[in-house]
Amino acid sequence: MSQLRRAISEAKPVEVILAAEKELEKSRPGWRRQEAVARGAPVFPYKIGEVVAGKGVFAGPWLPKLSLAEKNSKSYLLFAAPTNLTDQKFGNARLWKFYEAAREVGKIKNWHGHHGCDYVSAIQLYEALKNGSYDGGWFVPPLELLTGRNAVDRRKIHRYPLWQYKNKPGFGFDFRDESVVYWSSTECELDKGWAVNLLVKGKRAEAKNTHLACRPMRAEEAGLS
């Protein structure tokens, strides 16, 4: 029995198990991936938070929930922009009213290798995914990608929400400034949308003329099951 398996089976303290994992990594590099493959677990091509040239910052896999009862049969790899939404004219990141942000994302040309989509609601994004018209461009992320939960009944429908990995260096979040609350494209009322405080994962309804930060995301078909 390996030192790691012995430590786990004997319910050793976490520090002992972690030390055993480090020793195993030295003698058998890549053992985590090998064991994941052996278990049949999905293995992703990048680490969450890894900056991938021409794609963005890897933010995990995604199986979109197109409604409360329907799941898209396709799976995707998600990428976030490495910075908040930038003014295409002046080149600076700033805070945005919701429709300003959605229009600005739609103006993106070859930003980190991709253009922007001008969806003004999560429903438009889901419809594009469903009918096959989505082509890998940047969009304002729906609520589920920020918090992992459905806006209606708060069910967990996404395992890799951005708030959970916000401290990964690749995402470049800096919560020392005012960029703490971010727009989602999920509506809650005609003139209000859901916004998320990524520092504490709190969601709240905000008037769409409120100035908030925006972190565009994009998706690529992955074929994961």
Q: What would the mean pLDDT of 205-220 be, rounded to a whole number?
A: 95
In this prediction, residue 29 carries a pLDDT of 58
Average pLDDT, the chain: 81
In this prediction, residue 103 carries a pLDDT of 96
In this prediction, residue 51 carries a pLDDT of 94
Output the pTM of the full model: 0.78
pLDDT at residue 224 tops 50: no
pLDDT at residue 144 tops 90: yes
Angle between helices 14-27 and 31-39 (to 10 degrees): 100
In this prediction, residue 189 carries a pLDDT of 82
In this prediction, residue 60 carries a pLDDT of 92
In this prediction, residue 25 carries a pLDDT of 58
20-56 pLDDT per residue, tens: 556 655 565 555 555 554 544 556 789 999 999 999 9
Burial class (CB within 10 angstroms; exposed 0-12, middle 13-18, buried 19+) of 142: buried
In this prediction, residue 129 carries a pLDDT of 92
103-126 pLDDT per residue, tens: 999 999 998 899 999 999 999 999
68-104 pLDDT per residue, tens: 445 556 889 999 999 999 887 777 778 999 999 999 9
Q: What would the mean pLDDT of 126-131 be, rounded to a whole number?
A: 91
